[in-house]
Amino acid sequence: MSNQDALRSAAARSERRTSLLIGAGIMFAGSAAEPLYRPFDGPLLAVRVLWCASLAATALALPRARTRLYAFLLPLAGLSSCWLFATTVWLNGGTASPDFQYIMLLPLVLMVLFQDEVVACSAGVVGAISSYGVLSWLGDVPHEALADGLSSHVAVGVVVVFGSLSFRRVRLAELATQHARAEAIEQLALSERRRAQAERLASLGQLAAGVAHEINNPLYSVSANVETLADMEGLCCPGLAEVETRTVVADLQAGVGRIAQIVRDLKEFSSGAPDKLRPCQVDEVIGDALRLASFKLGKAIEVRRSCPLDLPAVSVDRRKLSQVLLNLLVNAAEAMEDARTANPWLLVAAERAGDSVEIAVQDNGPGISPEVRARLFEPFVTSKPIGKGTGLGLALSREYVMSFGGTLALAPSDGGARFSIVLPVTAAN
Q: What is the pLDDT of residues 348-390, one digit of tens each?
A: 999 998 889 999 999 998 888 887 877 777 766 666 655 555 5
C-alpha atoms less than 13 angstroms from C-alpha of 97 in its C-beta half-sphere: 21
Cα distances from 127 to residues 5, 53, 339, in angstroms, run 26, 19, 66
* Strand-pair partners of 357: 352, 423
Confidence band for 215, pLDDT divided at 50, 70 and 90: confident
Least confident of 83-92, 147-156, 203-212: 203-212
Three-state SS at 94: helix
Q: Is the pLDDT of residue 121 over 70?
A: yes
Q: How far apart are CA 52 and CA 123, in angstroms?
A: 18
Q: How far apart are CA 85 and CA 82, in angstroms?
A: 5
Three-state SS at 379: coil
Report the percent of the chain where pLDDT is more than 70.
90
Q: What is the pLDDT of residue 420?
A: 94
pLDDT digits (tens, 9 = 90+) for 127-175: 899 998 898 888 888 888 888 888 998 999 999 999 989 988 888 888 8
240 vs 409, which has greater pLDDT?
409
316: DSSP letter = E
Q: Is the pLDDT of residue 216 over 80?
A: no
Of the candidates 322, 223, 225, 222, the residue with the CA atom closest to the CA atom of residue 267: 322
Pinpoint the alpha helices (H) of 232-241. none
Q: Is the pLDDT of residue 185 over 80?
A: yes
Q: How far apart are CA 135 and CA 102, in angstroms?
A: 13
Q: Do residues 117 and 79 make contact, with C-beta atoms less than 8 angstroms apart?
A: no
What is the C-alpha R_g of the chain? 40
Strands 418-424 and 356-363: antiparallel
Average pLDDT over residues 278-301: 86
Three-state SS at 360: strand
The per-residue pLDDT of the chain, averaged, comes to 83
Three-state SS at 414: coil
Cα-to-chain-centroid distance, residue 12: 24
Total Cβ atoms within 10 A of residue 100: 21
Q: What is the pLDDT of residue 380?
A: 63
Q: How far apart are CA 197 and CA 212, in angstroms?
A: 22
* Strand-pair partners of 399: none
pLDDT digits (tens, 9 = 90+) for 309-352: 889 999 998 888 988 999 899 989 988 988 888 999 999 999 99
Q: How far apart are CA 62 and CA 14, in angstroms?
A: 8
Q: Do residues 420 and 328 make contact, with C-beta atoms less than 8 angstroms apart?
A: no
Q: What is the pLDDT of residue 209?
A: 72
